[in-house]
Amino acid sequence: MSAANVTVAVRCRPWIGRQNEADEATRRCIVTMSDSKVIVEDPESQDGVRTFEFDHAIWSHNPQDGHYKDQTWVYNNIGKKLLDDATVGYNSVVFAYGQTGSGKTFSMAGSKDQPGITPLLIGDLFKWRAAEIAKSKASERINVNVKLTYCEIYMEKVHTRGPSVPVSSIDQVALASAGTRPTR
């Protein structure tokens, strides 16, 4: 058995809202990424560059770029490892951190057309559960205990997101919530 321990990933999201409306001449992306490196230019200086290294540097800024990483890539490279570890008994946690508007909710929840880590992981978790039950013998009792918590820390307060449901009905909730976003 091997556990993931801690994996740190950083993601550069596309322009949103007012950023899309800004004049091309005044709008400039000061971040570049490759594999595990993030390079940030100092917009006030011609030679001020800082380089950071992470487990994953995820370029999701421009879908036309050859190194663009979509929601599926994020899930396959981060979420699946969490699921693999959880199915052999390890606790798995995703901690998304960043300022308001930085893309945390999109990475985690996604949208109907581009589901994020949470709905993709929940879907695969229940596929795994169904496969485990299907391959068990009729005389065996399979017990799969699943506890999901989705919370947000906002303005120094913890807010639990999502429905509070008994475990027996979590299959229907997981399937019904795939592709939806939490509400405030």
Q: What is the pLDDT along the chain (184 residues), one digit of tens a residue?
A: 455 488 899 998 887 777 766 666 677 788 989 889 999 988 787 778 989 999 999 999 888 999 999 999 999 999 999 899 888 888 888 888 888 888 888 898 888 889 999 899 989 988 988 888 888 877 777 777 777 777 777 778 887 766 544 444 444 444 444 443 333 3
In this predicted structure, what is the pLDDT of residue 180?
38
**Number of Cα atoms under 13 Å in the Cβ half of residue 22:** 12
Q: Which CATH superfamily is domain 70-184 in?
A: Kinesin motor domain (3.40.850.10)
Instruction: For residue 117, give every residue at least 6 positions away whose Cβ sits within 8 Å of its Cβ, in sequence order, or none.
Output: 71, 74, 75, 78, 79, 94, 107, 108, 110
In this predicted structure, what is the pLDDT of residue 42?
85
Instruction: Please choose, from the candidates 87, 92, 89, 69, the residue with its C-alpha nearest in 3D space to the C-alpha of residue 10.
Output: 69
In this predicted structure, what is the pLDDT of residue 36?
92
Domain range summary for the chain, segments of one domain joined by + = 1-69, 70-184
Instruction: Round to whole Å and give the CA distance between 92 and 97.
Output: 16
CB 33 within 8 A of CB 78: no
Q: Taking the CB of residue 164, how many other CB atoms lie within 10 A of it?
A: 6
Instruction: For residue 15, give every residue at least 6 positions away whose Cβ sits within 8 Å of its Cβ, in sequence order, or none.
Output: 22, 27, 61
The continuous run of DSSP H or E covering 127 comes out as helix 117-135
Instruction: Round to whole Å and give the CA distance between 69 and 141.
Output: 41
In this predicted structure, what is the pLDDT of residue 22?
66
Q: Which residues of 112-126 are buried (b: 16+ CB within 10 A; e: fewer)?
A: eeebbbbbbbbbbbb
In this predicted structure, what is the pLDDT of residue 37?
95
Task: Supply angle C-alpha 118, 173, 58, rounded to 5.
Answer: 10
The pTM score is: 0.74
In this predicted structure, what is the pLDDT of residue 183?
38
In this predicted structure, what is the pLDDT of residue 175?
41
In this predicted structure, what is the pLDDT of residue 39?
92
DSSP string, 67-122: T---HHHHIIIIIHHHHHHHTTT---------STTSSHHHHHTB-SSSB-HHHHHH
Instruction: For residue 4, give every residue at least 6 positions away whose Cβ sits within 8 Å of its Cβ, in sequence order, or none.
Output: 81, 82, 85, 90, 92
